[in-house]
Structure 1
Amino acid sequence: MKTALIHFATERPRWVYALVGLLVLLTGALIPNIQIDTDPENMLPADDPARLFHNQVKADFALYDSIVVGAVAEGEQGIFNPDSLAIMHNLTDAILKLDGVVQADLMALSTSDNITQGDAGELRFEYLMRTAPATSEAARAIGDAVARLPMLDNTLVSSDGKAAAIYVPLYSKDDSYRVAEQIRALIAEQAPTDHYYLTGLPVAENQFGHEMFVQMAIAAPLAGAMIFALMWFFFRSVPLVLAPMMVAMTTVIATMGTLIGLGYTVHIMSSMIAIFLMPIAVVDSVHIMSDFTDRFRAGKDPKAVIQEVMRDLFNPMLFTSVTSAIGFYSLMLTPIPPVQVFGAFVGSGILLAFVVSILLVPAYVVRMKPATLAAMQQRLHGKAQGGVLARTLPKLGRVSVTRAKPILLVALGILALSAIGIGRIQINDNPVRWFKADHEIRVADRALNAHFAGTYDAYLVLTDHSPLATPAEIQKLNTALTLALPGDQEAQAQLQQGLAGQPAMLVTLLSTLDDAAFAASDDAQLEAIDQAMADLELLLEQSRRFLDPAVLEWMTGLQQQLQASGLVGKSNALPDIVKTVNRELHSGDDADFRLPASAAGVAQTLLQFQSSHRPQDLWHFVSRDYRQSLLWLQLTSGDNQHMTQVMAEVDQYLNAHPLPQGLSADWAGKAYINVVWQDAMVSGMLESLLSAFVVIFIMMSLLFRSPLYGLVAMLPLSLTIAFIYGLVGWLGKDYDMPIAVLSALALGLSVDFAIHFLERTRALHRQTGDVAQTFRLMFDEPARAISRNAIVIALGFTPLLLAPLVPYITVGVLMASIMAVSASVTLLLLPAVLKLLARWALPSQNTELNGGSHVEIRH
């Protein structure tokens, strides 16, 4: 296969051009169909239990993702002044008219109720701010009213009275960027003197998607320009440098076009595919060009030279491409779909780059004009050899050999320190932190979370799993229903469905019995119907666990514990509604801010609440059958470490105060989903890393036909990965998704350098038979090729440092570090280890490093 491919590339260059051009046209035509996806929920598979439960909770409790619009007033009166409230009132009215907004659930001062005592012990539900207040006294009265409403205090208005918020729920979170931009325009029209901010995870996620798209269009071309400039600096020939640039562009376009054409969305991870492939795709080209320019001289046949180069480099390039691809393919073992897609397409892109390199670069070289080749040869070889690499690398080679033991000791010390650093790593992520600290999203996040109880949501869902009735009660109901509605199979089916866990069917059965009472044939049947209805109503009453004051009292205790912990800014739950209404049903004093003593009393408060302007708010906290309820926790941080601490606090409370009989507690909400996929990512990354290590070791042993060389080849990648992640731990940098996937890159590229170094070392040693001569020659052209590759790849990622998005900056910094470390380890540690193991690794008659006969080496 090798001979056939080389022959085809050098003898049929026009065919190569045609095939590459066709590939670019076909795949490039698919790119306009791109779809952006930045939803963290999609970090989990669609059938993941945590994700399914989260979405079921949102559906059952009619919960929507919301944009939080906050206004902060710095004056003495705070937000409660006529001017500030007038602007907020006008803004709320305008937002209610926007498409995509769930009008009924929008929370604002002008859409929320004040609950007060009316005449004759009745409750009065009046809008807090039906119209904007005309006086300061009226504005302050609104603030006083909110302070008495625990569901709104520190959620809708800050406890210090300086800020107020509008919660804008959206039917689809995909509309958040559009709606946020419209809200910003509405705010600008109002020209407020207060500071207005927009925050919320939907805003952050979709804002990131918008800027990610822009970043893709800027960073990839900048990376290409940087790579072009570097290669021109190394090879001093624009025509020659065009070949690897064509390889890189072909690889990027074909890979991204295929990804989009297959229907995959572009997530934060897959958005980096182009950035990753642009430098990696030129790796093989740099080796080919470096070897070609070193061997070619005036008068030589370029076709013969490039064929000789390809024969020598084909095997190491094949194995480096395969091992690099394996490093990324290992990411497919993680349970995170976007990471799987990223690994699959970067791995495939690396293999594609190999194929395109071995075809396009030789085809391009054989079609270069003789004058161009002569000019290149004159620039590179017409003067005494020099350059930083040419002067530095031989010295580095001598140091690595003569200081072998100290170098090995330093490597072991670095490994030990890295192990300690790895133990300090903290796993954490937060979509809001994907932006720089001065980005408007981060500024808004800090400002609003400083004033309010928190703009991040988590839900603790309590579910009653206890049976609706005992066997004796079931038998009694069956008998009563048979007497009441003899032969009515539909009524029997309703009863069985209700007893099987669908209490709504029991309500339907009650209606059926009620209708039947009007058509009863005699007093006996009417009496039987009344008895059946009484039994059924008693059963329904008993099944409504979240009308039980004891259960609500348990929930109150949990709320108090969470508030005391300082981890939760505030919790909102069914007991807050019950106690607020109960207070106003009685004296209106704080002494009556308590739970009623009976389930009937609780039911009465909730019946009264349903007379408000927002009766649907009740069903955000309890299901209609009263067998499921949730606590809405407001958190001031979206970090998954924070959420993990909240979960631990709840677990501690549950251990000390067990759930009431038959109840279970489960988590939902975006903050919890982030924890789930982060945990899955860490365990998945560890599995993929270990698997790739094993596979690459086996491949190295097969390539070199030596387990010893297989182990030596693993040293650069092992030390590089340990050093980089140890550094992450020592610097206190959070271990997030971009950092996690860089292990695959370090895995692939570090072993790339090792393969080339070891393969060329063994080839030179077979020709010289002398260790000293082998290393002197090795630190000539081969070491230069490795160094050039490292520099090209490292600096090729530097445009990412200018990105406004933190994940891209992280990748840029760590990529440069990985390349610098892996190249240094390859050029320092491998020669030192080979020298110490020369008896087994480089056996020869003369293993002394001071001397040795001169042997003519073919380049």
Structure 2
Amino acid sequence: MRSQVIRFATEHPRRVFAAILALVIATAALIPNIQIDTDPENMLAHDDPARVFHNQVKSDFTMYDSIVVGAIADGPDGIFTPRSLLALHTLTSEILKLDGVVPGETLALSTSDNITQGAPGTIRFEYLMRQAPQTQAAAAAIGEAVARLPLLDNTLVSGDGKAAAIYVPLYHKEDSFEVAEQIRALITTLDSDDHYHITGLPVAENQFGVEMFVQMAISAPMAGAMIFALMWFFFRSVPLVVAPMLVAMATVIATMGTLIGMGFTVHIMSSMIAIFLMPIAVVDSVHIMSDFTDRYRAGDDAKAVISEVMEDLFNPMLFTSVTSAVGFYSLMLTPIPPVQIFGAFVGSGILLAFLISVLLVPAYVVRLKPATLDSMQARLHGESEHSGLLARTLPSLGRFAMNKHKALLIGAGVILLASLAGISRIQINDNPVRWFKADHDIRIADEVLNHHFAGTYDAWLVLQDNNALLDSTTRETLAQNLAAVGITLSQEALTPQAIADLLTELDDRAFSAEDDATLDAIEAAVAQLEPLAEQSRRFLDPKVLSWMAGLQADLQQSGLVGKSNALPDIVKTVNRELRSGKPEDFVLPGSAAGVAQTLLQFQSSHRPDDLWHFVSRDYRQSLIWLQLTSGDNQHMNQVVARIDDYLDAHPLPQGLEAHWAGKAYINVIWQDAMVSGMAGSLASAFVIVFIMMALLFRSPLYGLIAMLPLTLTIAFIYGLVGWLGKDYDMPIAVLSALALGLSVDFAIHFLERTRAIHKETGSLPVTLKLMFEEPSRAISRNAIVIALGFTPLLLAPLVPYITVGVLMASIMAVSASVTLLLLPAALTLLQRWALPTPSGKQDATAPQSNSGE
């Protein structure tokens, strides 16, 4: 097959050009259909239990994703001045008119109630700020009122009185960027000197999507320009350098066009496909061009030279492409859909780049004019064949690796142990807000508002009552009583709603009962159902509410939670005003009837549906809303651990279960799934790559030697991450696949060429001397091209892109260095088994001397 492919490329270049051009045009036509997706929830599969439960909770408790708008005042009276409150009132009124906003759920001073005592035993609900106050006294009174309302204090107004917030719920979180932009425009029209900020996870995610799209359009061309400049520097021929660039462009366009054409959205992961493929796609081309420029001389037949080069490089390039692809395909083993898509398309893009390289580059070379090739040869060999930096330094590096092989291997072992210690220090953490630089508006808003308020990040602890309402004996008796009046009891579980429906129906039938026996059966059934109705409304039980209040107090004391909001806060507030309005009456009623009375009173407010954010309509579920000042996974994990400890010391009331939901918790779930999945995929890829290496070289020993660069590179990079205290996030996690693939690329080329040269020389020193000429220059050029090709990412405004740029340069530098130092050292140490002197030949340069220099 190899010979047929090479022959087709060199004999039918126009067909090659036409086929690749058709592929590019067809796939490029699909790119305008691009759809951007930056929702972290989509890191989990749609049927993931945590995600399903989270969405069910949003539905059960009518919770919406919200934008948080905050106003910060600098004056001595804080936010409670007529001017500041007028601006807030005006802004809130305009926000309520925006498309996509849920007006009835918007939380602001002008939409919220003040709860006060009316006549004895009654309660009064009045808007806190139906109209903006005209005097300073009236403005201060609003602040005093908010301080008495636990659901609003430090949520709607900061504890220091310097800031106020507007919570803007959205029907669809995908609208958050557009709505936020409209709110920013409204803010510019306000007559206010206050500082306004906008934050919230929906805004951060959609803002990232917009900037990610821009970054895709900037970084890929910049990376291409950098790669072009570097290859021109190495090969000094613009026409010759065009070929690798065509390979890279064709690969990126075809891969991204296929991804979009197949209906996949472009997530934060898949947005990096173009950036990853641009440098990787030129790897094989650089090997081909490096070998070709070393062999070609003026007057040579370009077709013959390029055919010879392809014969030598075809197998190493094939295996390096396959192993690199395997590294990325291993990501498909993770349970994270965007990571799976990223791995699948980068892996496929690498294989496509190999196919295009072995077809396009030879076809392009044979179509170049002899004068162009002769000019290239004159510049390269006439001026700098032995004067370049690589040409001068690499031979010395080879001699050093051979002569100091034991010290190098011992040093590598020490570095490996230190790296493993660093890996043990890695902390898994991510936060979409931290995807922006520290000086970005989103980051500034997040820092400022979370400094003033209890927290803009949400987590929900959901309590559910799973008690069975009927035992089998009682159910049988109830069924008999109902049957006596013509009602069949359903075999399904008896829900609170079903009990209420039965009581209503029995009440109707009591009016039409024609005999005493029927009336007696109705009364017996009602006597059974009424206690069940009370028992089923579990979250009217003062003991249950008292347990919830205890958990809230413990969380507040822990300092991990800015604030918690729950049903007991509503009950205590209303109960205080019903009794006396004094602080000592801020307590729970002593009976379920008393609790029910407070909630009935609350439903006379202007926002009666707020109750259903904290308890389900059947009173069988309740939600504790936790406000966190950080969206970091580590913070959320600490909160979960704290509550687990509390549950161990204070068990849930009998029959209750606790489950987590909320965006902060969902981020923890997908991060844990990603890390465990990455660990499994990396381990699988290691095994597969080792097997492939052993098969390629037909030697388990060579398979082990080939694994040295990738093992030490991955360990060193991730050990460094641990020692530097850098959080292990999504971009860092996926780079292991890239490190694996490219480190093996260098190892395969080095070992394959070493064995081929050794067959001719029979001498290890001579072999390594020759290896540190053209083959090592090709490896070094590749490492430099790829490493520097990612440097445009350092200018990106988005942290994940910067992280990729830094780590990619580091991976290339480490893997190339390890390949050029450790592999010669290992081959020297294991010469007897790895590269024995053929019988009948004598090693002219024995290891005891340094004459290889």
TM-score in same-fold range (> 0.5): yes
* Distance (Å, rounded) in 1 between the aligned partners of 2:6 and 2:707: 30
* Distance (Å, rounded) in 1 between the aligned partners of 2:197 and 2:715: 42
* Distance (Å, rounded) in 1 between the aligned partners of 2:762 and 2:72: 78
| 571 and 853 in structure 1: CA distance in 2 versus 1, 3 angstrom threshold | closer
* Distance (Å, rounded) in 1 between the aligned partners of 2:513 and 2:639: 57
- Cα deviation, residue 443, structure 1: 0.2
AA aligned to 1:744 is A
- Long gaps (5+) in structure 2: none
**Aligned residue in 1 for 2:758:** 765
Residue range with higher mean Cα deviation, 336-345 or 532-541:
532-541
AA aligned to 2:425 is R
**Aligned residue in 1 for 2:473:** 472
Secondary structure in 2 aligned to 1:458?
Answer: strand
Contact conserved, 2:403 with 2:850, CA < 8 A, in 1?
no
Are 1:734 and 2:727 an aligned pair? yes
Contact conserved, 2:120 with 2:578, CA < 8 A, in 1?
no
**Aligned residue in 1 for 2:115:** 115
**Aligned residue in 1 for 2:46:** 46
**Aligned residue in 2 for 1:805:** 798
AA aligned to 1:447 is V
- Cα deviation, residue 532, structure 1: 2.9
- Cα deviation, residue 523, structure 1: 5.4
- Cα deviation, residue 42, structure 1: 0.6
Q: Deviations over 1:556-590 (max 9, x none)?
A: 11000100000000000000000000001101111
* Distance (Å, rounded) in 1 between the aligned partners of 2:384 and 2:283: 27
Of 496, 499, 509, 1:506 maps to 499
* Distance (Å, rounded) in 2 between the aligned partners of 1:463 and 1:254: 51
Contact conserved, 1:773 with 1:852, CA < 8 A, in 2?
no
* Distance (Å, rounded) in 2 between the aligned partners of 1:476 and 1:218: 74
**Aligned residue in 2 for 1:147:** 147
Of 698, 704, 713, 2:706 maps to 713
**Aligned residue in 2 for 1:816:** 809
Secondary structure in 2 aligned to 1:382?
Answer: helix
Secondary structure in 1 aligned to 2:300?
Answer: coil
Secondary structure in 2 aligned to 1:115?
Answer: strand
AA aligned to 1:617 is D
AA aligned to 2:432 is P
* Distance (Å, rounded) in 2 between the aligned partners of 1:127 and 1:611: 13
**Aligned residue in 2 for 1:81:** 81
Secondary structure in 2 aligned to 1:611?
Answer: coil
AA aligned to 2:223 is A
* Distance (Å, rounded) in 1 between the aligned partners of 2:519 and 2:174: 56
Residue range with higher mean Cα deviation, 397-406 or 557-566:
397-406
**Aligned residue in 2 for 1:8:** 8
- Cα deviation, residue 853, structure 1: 11
Q: Deviations over 1:228-254 (max 9, x none)?
A: 000000000000000000000000000
**Aligned residue in 2 for 1:848:** 846
Contact conserved, 1:772 with 1:851, CA < 8 A, in 2?
no
**Aligned residue in 1 for 2:577:** 584
Contact conserved, 1:772 with 1:850, CA < 8 A, in 2?
no
Are 1:434 and 2:435 an aligned pair? yes
* Distance (Å, rounded) in 1 between the aligned partners of 2:248 and 2:236: 19
Q: Deviations over 1:467-489 (max 9, x none)?
A: 01233332332233223x32x44
Secondary structure in 2 aligned to 1:582?
Answer: helix
Contact conserved, 2:405 with 2:825, CA < 8 A, in 1?
yes
* Distance (Å, rounded) in 1 between the aligned partners of 2:476 and 2:84: 64
- Cα deviation, residue 407, structure 1: 1.1
Contact conserved, 2:408 with 2:822, CA < 8 A, in 1?
yes
Contact conserved, 2:120 with 2:579, CA < 8 A, in 1?
no
* Distance (Å, rounded) in 2 between the aligned partners of 1:804 and 1:852: 52
* Distance (Å, rounded) in 2 between the aligned partners of 1:85 and 1:647: 38
**Aligned residue in 2 for 1:448:** 449
Q: Within 5 A, what are the aligned runs for 1:50-449?
A: 50-383=50-383, 385=385, 386-449=387-450
* Distance (Å, rounded) in 2 between the aligned partners of 1:363 and 1:384: 27
* Distance (Å, rounded) in 1 between the aligned partners of 2:519 and 2:722: 77
Secondary structure in 1 aligned to 2:626?
Answer: strand
Q: Deviations over 1:478-525 (max 9, x none)?
A: 233223x32x44xx34xx44xx05321222222222333343334554
Count the aligned residue pairs: 846
Q: Deviations over 1:653-690 (max 9, x none)?
A: 00000011001000000111111111111111111111
**Aligned residue in 2 for 1:538:** 531
Contact conserved, 2:330 with 2:685, CA < 8 A, in 1?
yes
AA aligned to 1:459 is W
**Aligned residue in 2 for 1:857:** none
* Distance (Å, rounded) in 2 between the aligned partners of 1:173 and 1:381: 61
- Cα deviation, residue 526, structure 1: 4.3
Q: Within 5 A, what are the aligned runs for 1:511-522?
A: 511-522=504-515
* Distance (Å, rounded) in 2 between the aligned partners of 1:181 and 1:567: 32
Q: Within 5 A, what are the aligned runs for 1:22-33?
A: 22-33=22-33
* Distance (Å, rounded) in 1 between the aligned partners of 2:522 and 2:194: 64
- Long gaps (5+) in structure 1: 855-859
* Distance (Å, rounded) in 2 between the aligned partners of 1:478 and 1:331: 56
Contact conserved, 1:285 with 1:357, CA < 8 A, in 2?
yes
Contact conserved, 1:73 with 1:163, CA < 8 A, in 2?
yes
**Aligned residue in 1 for 2:663:** 670
* Distance (Å, rounded) in 2 between the aligned partners of 1:224 and 1:684: 32
* Distance (Å, rounded) in 1 between the aligned partners of 2:677 and 2:355: 30
Q: Deviations over 1:703-762 (max 9, x none)?
A: 111111100000000000000000000100000010000000000000100000001111
- Cα deviation, residue 850, structure 1: 6.8
Secondary structure in 2 aligned to 1:442?
Answer: helix
**Aligned residue in 1 for 2:771:** 778
Residue range with higher mean Cα deviation, 117-126 or 729-738:
117-126
Secondary structure in 1 aligned to 2:160?
Answer: coil
Aligned-residue Cα RMSD (Å) equals 1.3
Secondary structure in 2 aligned to 1:637?
Answer: coil
Are 1:461 and 2:459 an aligned pair? no
* Distance (Å, rounded) in 1 between the aligned partners of 2:209 and 2:516: 70
